[in-house]
Amino acid sequence: MTSISDPETLALAKALVARRSPTPDDGGCQALIGERLQRAGFTLEPMRFGDVDNLWARRGGTRPVICFAGHTDVVPTGPEDKWHSPPFMPTVRDGMLYGRGTADMKSSIAAFITAAEAFTSDHPRHRGSIALLITSDEEGVAVDGTVRVVEALRARGEKLDYCIVGEPTCVSRLGDTIKNGRRGSLSATLIVNGVQGHVAYPHLASNPVHLAAPAIVELTQEKWDDGNEYFPPTTFQISNIHGGTGATNVIPGELEIECNFRFSTARTLEALKGRVHEILDRHELDYRIDWSLSGKPYLTAKGDLVDAVSKAVREMTGYAPELSTSGGTSDGRFIADICPQVIELGPLNATIHKVDECVAVADIENLHRIYYGTLVNLLKKL
């Protein structure tokens, strides 16, 4: 294998981290990525939507198509004087690369690029196609990023076969965890109506807090499903609740409740909504509810992609990764609409979004090798 040397992969990670890119600013990262991919024979298609820069790059015109997906935007640094070195000055210290975005997820992107460069150099007549989908709108509202690129690809009938999202997935050591799915996220704002009045004359009012209380208890105690082999049971949480004017002598006329479901493929969106309405209707509440879906659940069962990535991890580390669907949402939820097999694999997630975010220097090259090995396993030379 003619692999890119350790310093080059590390150097690329440093170059990306040095570009200040708080969401949705790309900071010039995609221009650097594009230059390297173009030299490796990729066709570039920048896609700008609103204030968001996206890059679709592809090498090859046949299937199967394996896509690496990631984001160049980062979360705010927090107080920069709390960092031991400036957050956008990538610094190696005690075997760790420090800087905002090192773990989430510029090291993954660097490993994507160098793995693709090495693989296409070693296997110029590989079967299928390699693609990259890079956005600068993952850490923010995520409305003009990956979801818009997926819409554009779907509109012209372009499909993917396999996708690896470079999110930081590992817990204790590189390669220990592959995310093969994510729970869906469904939020709701529930308004329960009552009649405002004086607390001394409750017979002239109707307290929505009192009216809703039994329904709230039932919602919190409901068993929504049992989960399945890959997902835990669906959870329901109330995140905010408000009623009243702030005065102690006024019965509120309205109660507002904000809540969220994290749900699996064991329960449909329609079934969740329907059950909530059943409970509220049975308690004869005067209410309205506004639903907001931020992500559907998706699952990639054991198959070609999981096998290929797991094999590459074993060859690199000597141990088998565990499959997990834990955590929040990721851009995998959008990509799953045009790709039947989506997994996430990246570096350790212990320091993401924290002051002094970092990743082990050794893990950067090892991640490159895992991505390279996955390409070998899926797109062997003709």
Tell me, what's the pLDDT at 328?
84
Task: Establish whether 144 is a catalytic residue.
Answer: no
Q: Is the pLDDT of residue 352 over 80?
A: yes
Averaged pLDDT for residues 176-186: 96
Which token pair is 121? 């150099």
Q: Which of 11, 13, 2, 7 is nearest to 112 (CA)?
A: 13
Q: Is the pLDDT of residue 311 over 70?
A: yes
Residue type for 375, please? L
Task: Establish whether 73 is a catalytic residue.
Answer: yes
Q: Is the pLDDT of residue 183 over 90?
A: yes
State the helix-helix crossing angle for 107-122 and 29-39, rounded to 10 degrees: 10
The answer to whether 263 touches 328, Cβ cutoff 8 Å, is no
Tell me, what's the pLDDT at 4?
44
Tell me, what's the pLDDT at 16?
98
Q: Is the pLDDT of residue 3 over 50?
A: no
The answer to whether 184 touches 297, Cβ cutoff 8 Å, is yes
Give the number of residues written for the chain.
382
Distances (CA, A) of 181 to 81, 113, 163, 331: 37, 24, 12, 11
**Rg of the chain over all Cα atoms, to the nearest angstrom:** 24
Catalytic position from the list 138, 139, 144, 363: 138
The answer to whether 291 touches 186, Cβ cutoff 8 Å, is yes
Q: How far is C-alpha 208 from the geometric centre of its chain's CA atoms?
A: 37
Averaged pLDDT for residues 113-124: 96
Tell me, what's the pLDDT at 329?
86
The 3-state DSSP class for residue 192 equals strand
273's CB contacts (< 8 A; 6+ apart) are 186, 291
User: What would the pLDDT profile of 161-175 be if each residue is shown by its tens digit?
Assistant: 999 999 999 999 999
Catalytic position from the list 25, 73, 167, 365: 73
Confidence band for 327, pLDDT divided at 50, 70 and 90: confident
